[in-house]
Amino acid sequence: MNRIDPLETFRIQPSQKISIQYGRKSYEGVAGDTIAGLLYGNGIRVFSRSLKYHRPRGLYSLDGECSNTMMRVDGMPNVRTENTPARNGMKVTAQNVAGKTADTDPMAFMDKLGFAMPAGFYYRTLHKPAKMWPVAIKKIRKAAGLGVMDPDFRIEGYFDEIYPTADVCVVGGGPAGMTAALAAAAPGLRVILMENRPWLGGVFDYRPAAYEGDLPLYQRAAHLARKIEETPNIRVFTHTAVVGNYNDNLVTAFQRGNETDPFDERYIEIRARSIVVATGCIERPLLFENNDRPGVMQVGCAHRLARTWGLLPGRQAVFSIGDDLGLEAAADLSDLGLEIACVADTRMDGQDETLIDALSRRNIPVYRGWIAYKAHGAKQVKKVTIGPLAGVQRQDIECDLLVASAGLTPLTGLLSTRQVELLFDRHTGFFLPAGLPDGIHTAGRMLGFQDSVKIEISGQLAGMEAAADCGFNAPGEIDSIKVRINAFPGPALGSKIVSAPVKGKKTFICFDEDTTLKNIDQAMADGFDVPELIKRYTSAGTGPGQGGIPGHNLPLYVAQTQQSPDQAPRSTTVRAPLIPTLMATYAGTQHDMCKRTALHDSQVASGGKMERVGVWTRARRFAEDTKALAEIKNVRHNVGMLDASTLGKFRIHGPDALKALQRVYVSDMDKIVDGRVKYSAMCNEDGCIIDDGVVLKQGENDYYFTTSTGRAGQTVEWIRYHTRYDHWDFNIVNLTDACGVINLAGPNARKVLEKVTTADVSNEAFPFVGWRDLTLADCIPARTMRLGFVGELSYEFHVPASYTQTLWNILEAAGKELGIQNFGLEAQNGLRLEKGHLIIGSESEQRTTLHDVGLGFLWDRKPDANTVGAVALTQTEHQKDRLKLVGIKMADASAAAPKDGSAIVDTKFQGYICTARFSEALNEPIGMALVKDALAEPGTELNIYEDSCNGQLLKAIVAKMPFYDSDGSRMKM
Amino acid sequence: MSFTLTCPICGPRNAYEFGYGGEDKGPRPDEKDLSPGDWCDYVHMNRCIAGESKEWWIHRSGCGIWFTTSRDTTCNLEVRGKAEEKDANPPLEKE
């Protein structure tokens, strides 16, 4: 098809050719074309086959109101091709059709079977006999549907998310939205303007009708858009669908990127102080027999095809409309070369007479009170039957285009998602907001305004009111604008006609779900009288168009035809996202954010097998051996180094610091001995153990303590929460990321330490559980603690993060002649298991109390501390039938260690294995388990059910802990 | 979680930044002679009001303060300016 001569309203570059592939053929278009537009320009009329009946469907609207033009594009199903820009080389195929294009479909016979699929047939038919349904459902799924998702399909592209800040968020880049944005930006507020189409302009964008004097609307729109662009405090997001609006003005949207954007699609979330909703109107479909035939399209669709893309939508056209925009489009399209046989207007009167005159000057007859009754033609419109709404006269007119529209329908979805009540307005026929929450304003055509100037002024008013929400109140100006608005005539009387008086068998109220008027009648005959229920029973409006086609017509039709016609139409509920959004956009970029210790790079360089542990990346082991036995052996017999920087580290100080520690720790922190650390635990209010660590007193009212890695993030919050009623004076500082920790462990650890310090670190001068502030290598301040988590002589150095790598290097050099080696988490796990030392979370779960893990001795029963968990610890101290922590060995010492988490059973569940490993020291598997107290005595035989045991229960025996060095002499040497 | 909360230090912020600390039940009851049932009720039972509820929140991704505020649970909106005036929620009524 040839393009019409270039117009000022074009949004294409006719000289820049592109081509896409549809089916087996290649089609040429120009830059700026949409996929559907490009194909339409090449004579394609059938774009898809409908869900149930496989009826041919064509280009009907242009903003994604229905699934008619959904196609598979470059492997992605359900792309709305009518508003997706075509890109050179795209591969497009049709959906829900046996072939590659929608033109011919072997399943088209389904259209004849409509009688077998009444409203609610899913619920009513094919269920008897019961065994028929599983067969039927397979057939239905094969025959019906939209795009097919290839299970191997991986979406390409970059999906971003942004959270811009705005004082005022204006939704809708039409005339009202643009004037609202300009008015709100005038006092210097930060304004965001969002528009669904790729450009600003809205209903002005393509229309040559006069704005004022000779100035056409499209030039006015361009003028406003330029002003927007020149205003630095307005940020514009085009090609951005606003999909939700929630409490306190949270607006969610997604923006489609063009070829130069760094993203393919991005999620936008804005918390604005004030919102202006100026979303305008879409067209309300006109219903008649075969109203879904390709060649039937809405007024705006036909008009924009010509004005924006230079495509004359047909040769010979019939119009059946119910709004002045239809008259205007007919006159303009006639000037552009479309032959128009006649215009049927459902309204008897109320038309703009200048438009009627304009049509009569062009010899286009206007039939008032007439409507299209039926579209003829198998795959596309060939003939139309029109006639008066009341009367028997019928006229057949040959044509290849039927421009049909019943009127307008406001886009109020953003108000609905905000729970705003919408009431039916008898004058406009719109569902209009009954009242708006604070900080939200409406403007423009969605209120029923039609006069171009009035639309703009209403936007200006809304923008000023939004500015007032942000503290820039100009009452005098707002009042004078209100006076100006009231001087205009009120909203025009809206047509409420939904359908020509036809039987409705092939009259589609919803294209996406193939719902006919007959289906709606059936639903009402079955007793459904509320549109919301009819919507579910017939599935009208539940398709991808989200009610864009039936949303307004369904309640109107129901109100006009139901048994109690006195009831006002009741709208159905729309929900977010208002426009289908890719899951990939919601998923976002999926950065894997983790913390790295100061030693990360050297751990990796040493061959560390890194893995994610909570928020951190840590070295699991350094050798290939998954059991890390060499690392374990080296610690037991020589000396090793572990990066323990992930430990939670805190300073708490102030007059009430001790009271705060007494509140959260079960032990009496008043008894901390100078120069010694105190091991203790924290419980929750149920007495369940949540953390363990050491506390030391570093000065008057000044303490330093450690927590387990997993609790580091919550500890400050926890302590403040449990002192929230006390108004105590203390400060707590999280030093976890500020300090690195190196654990030097093994019988030769002291030999290494002695090389880097002049201080006396003998067992007498620096005994077990002692701590000293040492200066290592004459320069590094290191808080050094003698602890024994791995069960050997062991020093823990807490140093500023920036010194950690240096100290690591110094220790490594000092230990080189001894054969010092790295060890990782796996080795540490094996080592501490042999000692029976627990890791909270591994050897405990939500219900495990301090008593259950055998740490009840830590609890000091402080009388007035109100220690968190103390009440429950008192109450559960002698409770029976609890899971207790025990050591286990396998009955067969040569057996493999059971998997962590395996169940311990007899006739029922009796507990589970927490951790089990092969013990290097004992040369047999050992483990820890939580078992019912009745089975907790050493020597008791346990049956373990492991995942892959095939019913052969493993035998284990409860053993005394610790398994290794029971008197702890190796830690104290 | 689409509403905003007013942090006493940082002002109104997105609810995403906050952590929930439960209904304001007042300070812990005296531990002496407390039955396990009473304790369990204090720790675990909530009033779950449909309406205005005084609650503890923490500005977790912000300044870290724990504070109380009133929220209308029927519409998930903060009831502004009420928190200071209101006492803790009255204790649970015994069945």
Spatial distance between the Cα atoms of B23 and A973, rounded to a whole number of angstroms: 52
CB-based contact A853:A838 (threshold 8 Å): yes
Least confident of A343-357, A527-541, B3-17, B29-43: B29-43
**Inter-chain touch A725–B27, beta carbons under 8 Å:** yes
- Tell me whether residues B64 and A716 touch, CB distance under 8 A: yes
Residue B87 has pLDDT above 90, yes or no: no
Q: Which of B25, B31, B41, B74 to mutate to test the interface with A (most CBs of A within 10 A)?
A: B31
Is residue A565 predicted with pLDDT exceeding 70? no
pLDDT at A112: 84
So what's the pLDDT on residue A771?
97
Domains contained in chain B, CATH given: 4-88 (3.30.2270.10)
| Contact in structure between B66 and A721 (CB atoms under 8 Å) | yes
pLDDT in tens, A165-174: 999 999 999 9
Query: Taking the model in full, what pTM does it have?
Result: 0.88
| Burial category of A637 from C-beta neighbours within 10 Å (exposed 0-12, middle 13-18, buried 19 and up) | middle
Q: Could you give the percent of chain A with pLDDT greater than 70?
A: 99
CA A521/CA A503 separation, integer angstroms = 10
Whether A941 and chain B come into contact, CB under 8 Å, resolves to no
Q: Which residue has the higher pLDDT, A566 or B36?
A: B36
Shortest CA distance to A941 belongs to which of A949, A929, A950? Answer: A929
A685 — contact with chain B (CB < 8 Å)? yes
Instruction: State residue B88's pLDDT score.
Output: 62
pLDDT at A699 over 90: yes
CA-angle at A767, arms to A765 and A773, nearest 5°: 70
And the tokens for A836? 């029976």
Q: Model confidence over A775-809: pLDDT tens digits?
A: 999 999 999 999 999 999 999 999 999 999 999 99
Q: Which pLDDT tens digit goes with each residue over A413-462?
A: 999 999 899 999 999 999 999 999 999 999 999 999 999 999 999 999 99
A594 phi and psi, to 5 degrees?
A: -140, 165
pLDDT band at B89 (very low <50, low <70, confident <90, very high): low
Binned at pLDDT 50, 70 and 90, residue B95 comes out as very low
DSSP symbols for A371-429:
EEEEEE-SSS--EEEEEESSSS--EEEE-SEEEE--EEEE--HHHHTTT--EEE-TTT-
The pLDDT assigned to A622 comes to 96
Give how far A275 is from chain B: nearest CA, Å: 15
Cα of B35 to nearest chain A Cα, Å: 9
Rounded to two decimals, the ipTM of the complex is: 0.92
CA distance A606 to A600: 10
Q: What percent of chain A has pLDDT over 90?
A: 85
- Do residues A850 and A870 touch, judged by C-beta distance below 8 A? no
CA distance A798 to A778: 16
CB contact residues (below 8 A), chain A span 241-270, against chain B = 246-248, 250
Distance from CA of B95 to the nearest CA of A (A): 23
CA A24, distance to chain mean position in Å, is 37
pLDDT for residue A132: 84
Is the model's pLDDT at A2 over the cut of 80?
no
pLDDT mean across residues, chain A: 94
- In A, minimum Cα distance to B58 occurs at A717
In 3D space, the residue among A861, A291, A351, A355 whose CA is nearest the CA of residue A550 turns out to be A291
The reply to whether residue A720 touches residue B66, judged by beta carbons under 8 angstroms, is yes
What's residue A566's pLDDT?
67
- Across the interface, of A246, A721, A872, the residue whose CB is closest to B21 is A721
Contacts of A271 in chain B (CB under 8 A): 4, 14
Mean pLDDT of A395-409: 97
Question: Testing the interface with B: which of A419, A721, A726 to mutate, by most B Cβ within 10 A?
Answer: A721
The per-residue pLDDT for B1 is: 59
Per-residue pLDDT tens over the stretch A74-104: 999 999 999 999 999 999 999 888 777 888 8
- In this predicted structure, what is the pLDDT of residue A203? 95
**Closest approach of A72 to chain B, Cα-based (Å):** 35
User: Which amino acid, one-letter code, is at A515?
Assistant: T
What DSSP element (H or E) covers A244?
strand A240-246
Contact between A870 and B4 using a beta-carbon 8 Å cutoff: no
Least CA distance to A246: which residue of chain B? Answer: B2
Q: Supply the DSSP symbol for A494.
A: P
Contacts A–B by Cβ distance under 8 A: 50
Residue A343 sits at φ, ψ, to 5 deg, of -120, 120
Q: Is residue A552 classed as helix, strand or coil in its secondary structure?
A: coil
pLDDT at residue A819, as a whole number: 96
The nearest CA of chain B is from the CA of A594 a distance in Å of 17
Q: Predicted confidence band at A483 (pLDDT cuts at 50, 70, 90)?
A: very high
The pLDDT tens digits of the residues spanning A850-902 come to 999 999 999 999 988 899 999 999 999 999 999 999 999 999 999 999 999 99
Q: Does residue A336 sit at the B interface (CB-CB below 8 Å)?
A: no
Residue B81 has pLDDT above 70, yes or no: no
Element (H, E) at A137: helix A132-143
Residue pair A684/A867 in contact (Cβ under 8 Å)? The answer is: no
Average pLDDT over residues A594-604: 96
Contact B36 A875 (CB under 8 A): yes
Q: How confident is the model at residue A113 (pLDDT cuts 50, 70, 90)?
A: confident
What radius of gyration, in Å, describes the C-alpha atoms of chain A? Answer: 38
> pLDDT grade, residue A179 (50/70/90)?
very high
Chain B touched by A716 (CB under 8 Å): yes
Chain B CB contacts of A164 under 8 Å are none
A261 burial class (0-12, 13-18, 19+ CB within 10 angstroms)? middle
Whether A871 and B31 lie within 8 Å, measured CB to CB: yes
Q: Do A248 and B43 touch (CB under 8 A)?
A: no
Picking from A271, A419, A717, the nearest residue to B58 by CB comes out as: A717
The amino acid at A891: A
